[in-house]
Structure 1
Amino acid sequence: MNQRVLQEMALRYFMEVVHAGSVTEAAARLDVAPSAVSRQIARLERELDTLLFDRRARGMVLNSAGELLAAHARRTWLDIERVTEDILALRGLRVGQVRIAATEGFAYEFLPTLIAQFQTQRPGIVFLLDMCVQSEVVRRVREGEADIGVTVSLSSERGLEVELRHPAPVLAVMAAKHPLALKRQLSLTQVLAYPLALPAPASTLRQLLDISCSRQGLHLEPVVTSTHLYPLVNYVIGTQAITFCGETALRQHLASGALRAVPLRDREMNERHFEVQSLAGRHLPDAARAFINHLRDALAREG
């Protein structure tokens, strides 16, 4: 095997096909002819003596060998980024970039506040913060598009390292003047007596609700459904409806007195966890590692 091929243009073209899903689309992104991309892929497969893709009518999909090569490429480029930052640090340039993918409940208020606090001590660190659904957070971390994933999790994810884990129970959220607002704890049976504003069926929170209701023989009939959390939160402020989310996403509303969040006694509502995730086996840049420690300290202060 000619191992130099793993460091050359062929690898760049290979990864573009991985991202694009076809030679034609990859060529358009690279601004080269499709035949040039095909030649580089063929060269890789010849040098490695194995096929890397399953060719299908609607594009190209990595096979097992291709998955191994793609993982190698991602780690190589991530290591190059980290070394570049380390060299700048040796020169006394306290700079760096942290790429974070987070679900809405953390991206909206929790993380911006912590980033601002962090930058008072390390002003040279810049952040890219993207809000994604949970499955997209996992994908971005796994494929090296994000250094850190901040999300809620119900189970372990292949290929990811859990840097930090903290309970994130689901709460019943309602207007401050709602008849149930002063309860110390509620059951889903009590909550379902009122109109419901619910997240979309694909969300992890909705899946938990569906599992718990199915176990108890309860039926969910929302009056409002949304793929985003904050339309639901704002809806319940002016109605008798109830929605569900974690405490982290509600801090401003709770501090203003507009909302109340009441714990739920149902088992499934207490099985969610807040997680900070990174790519397993990756040596994170110093800036990303420092921010994870900042997150850990902030959660420790909250008890």
Structure 2
Amino acid sequence: MLFDLTDLRLIIQIAELKSLTRAAERMHLSLAAASNRVKEMESRFGVRLLYRENKGVQLSPAGETLLAHAQQFMQQVERMKCDMQEYNNGIKGHIRIYANTTAVTEFMPEVLGDFLARNPHVNVSLEERLNQDIVRAVHEGTADIGIVAGISQAPGLEFLNFATDRLVLVTAPDHPLAGSGPTSFASTLEYEHIGLHEGSTLQHFLNRIVEEHGQQLKVRIHVRSFEAMCRMIVAKVGIGILPQSAASRYAKTMELSMVELLEPWTVRERSVVVQKMGKLPQYARELVDFICTRAPEGVSAVGVDRTSEEKY
């Protein structure tokens, strides 16, 4: 064989740690054994896989190619182990979903509640990730289905646009910006904001916007959910930028004021992203249909393009 699973795990660890020594330690191998494994792979493939540098090691272009295949291969191995184990528990299918903050916290619980009630033999894992990480995970096969906002194409992937939302400014009713009419995002920066946790898609997006304009967002406090943001806004701790769908939902039970933002980037297209719809198991295609036909309250549903040709 050209390699075994230990070889592939070693390459993945080397790429992550940038160190053959640390990779060997994590793999519970001696440094000599790890080095020999790399040399044997280089001999078998006839290419150099590592560049040894003063600060560690760096994968060569051939090594990067091997890494991509190793990651996909190991992901498939883990998925196989997980899927086969689930048969012992009566589960006949497993769907892995990576989604942005709004999807995870606002509408996927209801969608999954309906779907899983109708599909008792299907199991689902749902994880919150940044948009770019979601697209990469679907491309690499780590996730079966991704849910993103503001991204409509990527090479080799299919996107199903299912709804349009917009970001709005949310304040307490007596805040100076509450009755000002449509305003610019820049005009909000003099006030203290309530932010989501740093790992959230929305907070990452807003941080990037202010950095691109050489400005700074005054975040008074970070919280874990849109509900917590709204409670802090009601308590006059600060103002916040939220999807209109989420703000409308919490405005039913809280004293909140929503102000339109003038920037075009506030309009956010929501899309499901997959490698190929036709290659998904039937139960996964049914879940995509559930997502696309159940646009959350407070957003405008748009037509779903079922042809979904690949975007290049």
TM-score normalized by the length of structure 1: 0.73
State the Cα distance separating 1:100 from its structure 2 match: 2.6
Contact kept? 2:220, 2:237, Cα under 8 Å? no
Distance in 2 (alpha carbons) for counterparts of 1:281 and 1:117:
21
The 5 Å alignment of 1:131-170 reads 131-153=128-150, 156-157=153-154, 161-164=158-161, 166-170=163-167
Pair 288,67 (structure 1): closer, same or farther in 2 beyond 3 Å? farther
- Measured in 2, the distance between the counterparts of 1:58 and 1:158 equals 34
Aligned residue for 2:205? 204
Task: Note the C-alpha offset of 1:88.
Answer: 9.7
Which residue identity is paired with 2:273? Answer: Q
Change (3 A) 1:190 1:206: closer
Map residues 243-282 of structure 1 onto 2, 5 A cutoff.
Answer: 243-250=240-247, 252-270=249-267, 272-278=268-274
User: Would you say the 8 A contact 1:152–1:275 is kept in 2?
Assistant: yes
Is 1:186 equivalent to 2:182 in the alignment? yes
* Counterpart-to-counterpart distance in 1, 2:68 and 2:280: 16
Q: 1:49 aligns with which of 36, 46, 51?
A: 46
**Identical aligned pairs, as a percentage?**
23
Residue 73 of structure 1 corresponds to 70
1:158-192: per-residue Cα shift (whole Å, max 9, x none)? 66543446433211112356566578x61217953
Please say if residues 88 and 95 of structure 1, whose CA atoms lie closer than 8 Å, have aligned partners that are also in contact.
no
Is 1:298 matched up with 2:299?
no
Is the Cα–Cα contact under 8 Å of residues 245 and 296 in structure 2 kept in the other structure? Answer: no
Q: CA deviation at 1:296?
A: 1.2
Structure 2 residue ranges without an equivalent (≥5) = 302-312
1:46 CA displacement: 1.3
Aligned counterpart, 2:309:
none
- CA root-mean-square deviation: 4.3
The answer to whether the Cα contact below 8 Å between 2:152 and 2:271 also exists between their aligned partners in 1 is no
In 2, the alpha carbon distance for the partners of 1:167 and 1:233 equals 21
Other-structure match for 2:306? none
Count of residues paired in the alignment: 293
* Structure 1: runs of 5+ lacking an equivalent: none
What amino acid is the match of 1:132? R
- The equivalent position to 1:17 in structure 2, one of 14, 25, 46, is 14
Q: Is the 8 A contact 2:83 2:93 kept in 1?
A: no
Moved more, 53-62 or 201-210: 201-210
